[in-house]
C-alpha cells in the first residue's frame, strides 16, 4: 500500500509527464514544416533508445524468437504510431490530432464492456469527434486518416506492450522496440532530410522535442506507477488532449472554434468517466498495460 503523500506525488508527477509529452509534441510541430515528420520521429526514436537501453537492456540468452517477435512487432507499431501522429499534427494541428489519436486507448478501455454507461460514453465521444472535425471545412481529410492510423497503432501498441511484458519484463521490450523503430526510420530520415535546413537551432529543437516526449516520460513511468493505481494513471492520461490543445495554442498559434473546444472536452470527459467507473475486475487492457510497466 502506498501512502496518501506518495499517491499525491505520483499523480503530480504524472501530470508533469503529460505536460512534458505534449510540450515536446508542440516543439515537434514547429519542426515538421522545416525538416518533415520523418526526421522529427527518427530523432525522437534515437533519443528513446538512448534513454532506455542503458537501464533496460535485455540479456542475450533471453532473446529467443518466441520472446523477441512481439518486441519486433512493437517496434514496427511504434514507428507507425509516432510517424502517423506527427503527420497528423502537421496537417490538423496538435490539439485535434491528439484528441483523435486518444480514441485508440479509449476503444480498448471500452472493449468487451456491456455497460450502458460505456455505450453512452462511446456515443458521446463519437459526437465529440464530429464536433471537432465535421463542423469546419478546413479539416484536412488525409490528416484525419493519419490521426486515426495513430489511434489504431496506439491501441496495438498497448496490446503488444502487454504481450512483450510477459517475455521481457519492465521496459526491456520497449528498448528492443525502440531499436527496431530507429532502424526503420533513421535511414529514411537521412535520405529525405534537407541538410541545408539543419542548423544549431534546429538540432537543439529536435533534441528538446525528443527529450520532452520520450526521455523524461519513460524515465518517470516506473516511479509514477509504483505510487498511483493504474486506473488513476489512465484517468490522468485521458486529459492529455486538453493539455495538447493548450500547447497548440501557446506554442503553435493554433485556434479552435467554440464548437471544437467543446468537442475536445467531450472526448476527454467521456474517456475519463469510462475509465473512472470501470470495475476493478475485469481490468481494461489500458489498466493492465499500465501495471505491466512497473
CA-to-CA separations, 218 to 20, 31, 88, 160, in angstroms, rounded: 11, 22, 23, 17
State which H helix or E strand residue 204 sits in. helix 200-210
Nearest to 54 by CA among 167, 172, 168, 166: 172
Burial group, residue 139, by CB count within 10 angstroms (0-12, 13-18, 19+): middle
Share of the chain above pLDDT 70, in %: 84
Alpha carbon 171 to its chain's center? 16
Band of the pLDDT at 86, cuts 50, 70, 90? very high
Predicted local distance difference test score (pLDDT) of residue 294:
38
Share of the chain above pLDDT 90, in %: 39
Quick check: 177 and 14 in contact, CB under 8 A?
no
- Given a cut of 50, whether residue 284 has pLDDT beyond it is no
Band of the pLDDT at 89, cuts 50, 70, 90? very high
Band of the pLDDT at 173, cuts 50, 70, 90? confident
Predicted local distance difference test score (pLDDT) of residue 3:
75
Quick check: 26 and 40 in contact, CB under 8 A?
no
Nearest to 36 by CA among 151, 255, 212, 195: 195
CA dihedral 192, 198, 201, 205 (to 10 degrees): 20
Domain boundaries, the chain: 4-292
Quick check: 130 and 263 in contact, CB under 8 A?
yes
Predicted local distance difference test score (pLDDT) of residue 291:
46
Residue 212 DSSP code: I
More confident position, 188 or 161: 188
pLDDT in tens, 144-156: 999 999 999 988 8
Q: Please give the average per-residue pLDDT across 78-106, as a whole number.
A: 91
Predicted local distance difference test score (pLDDT) of residue 66:
66
Question: What average pLDDT is seen over the chain?
Answer: 83
Quick check: 26 and 252 in contact, CB under 8 A?
yes
More confident position, 239 or 191: 191
Predicted local distance difference test score (pLDDT) of residue 252:
92
- Given a cut of 50, whether residue 290 has pLDDT beyond it is no
More confident position, 38 or 10: 38
Q: C-alpha grid cell for residue 139? A: 479539416
Band of the pLDDT at 114, cuts 50, 70, 90? confident
pLDDT in tens, 117-140: 888 888 888 888 888 887 666 788
Quick check: 80 and 149 in contact, CB under 8 A?
yes
Q: Please give the average per-residue pLDDT across 213-233, as a whole number.
A: 76
Predicted local distance difference test score (pLDDT) of residue 279:
64
Rounded Cα distance between 224 and 220, Å, is 6
Predicted local distance difference test score (pLDDT) of residue 217:
83
Q: Please give the average per-residue pLDDT across 205-233, as a whole number.
A: 81
Amino acid at each position: 500500500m502506498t501512502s496518501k503523500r506518495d499517491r499525491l506525488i505520483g499523480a503530480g508527477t504524472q501530470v508533469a509527464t503529460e505536460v512534458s509529452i505534449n510540450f515536446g509534441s508542440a516543439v515537434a510541430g514547429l519542426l515538421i514544416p522545416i525538416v518533415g515528420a520523418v526526421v522529427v520521429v527518427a530523432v525522437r526514436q534515437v533519443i528513446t533508445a538512448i534513454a532506455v537501453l542503458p537501464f533496460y537492456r535485455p540479456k542475450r540468452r533471453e532473446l529467443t524468437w518466441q520472446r523477441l517477435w512481439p518486441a519486433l512487432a512493437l517496434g514496427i507499431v511504434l514507428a507507425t504510431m509516432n510517424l502517423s501522429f506527427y503527420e497528423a499534427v502537421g496537417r490538423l494541428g496538435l490539439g485535434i490530432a491528439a484528441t483523435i489519436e486518444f480514441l485508440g486507448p479509449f476503444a480498448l478501455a471500452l472493449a468487451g464492456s456491456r455497460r450502458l454507461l460505456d455505450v453512452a460514453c462511446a456515443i458521446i465521444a463519437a459526437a465529440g469527434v464530429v464536433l471537432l472535425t465535421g463542423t469546419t471545412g478546413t479539416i484536412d481529410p488525409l490528416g484525419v486518416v493519419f490521426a486515426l492510423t495513430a489511434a489504431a497503432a496506439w491501441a496495438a501498441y498497448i496490446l503488444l506492450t502487454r504481450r512483450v511484458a510477459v517475455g521481457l519484463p519492465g521496459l526491456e521490450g520497449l528498448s528492443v522496440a525502440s531499436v527496431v523503430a530507429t532502424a526503420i526510420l533513421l535511414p529514411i530520415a537521412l535520405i529525405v532530410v534537407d541538410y541545408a535546413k539543419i542548423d544549431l537551432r534546429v538540432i537543439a529543437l529536435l533534441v528538446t522535442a525528443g527529450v520532452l516526449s520520450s526521455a523524461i516520460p519513460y524515465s518517470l513511468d516506473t516511479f509514477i506507477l509504483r505510487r498511483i493505481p493504474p486506473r488513476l494513471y489512465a484517468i490522468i492520461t485521458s486529459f492529455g488532449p486538453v493539455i495538447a490543445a493548450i500547447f497548440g495554442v501557446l506554442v503553435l498559434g493554433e485556434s479552435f472554434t467554440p464548437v471544437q473546444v467543446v468537442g475536445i472536452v467531450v472526448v476527454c470527459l467521456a474517456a475519463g468517466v469510462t475509465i473512472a467507473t470501470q470495475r476493478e475486475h475485469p481490468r481494461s487492457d489500458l489498466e493492465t498495460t499500465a501495471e505491466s510497466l512497473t
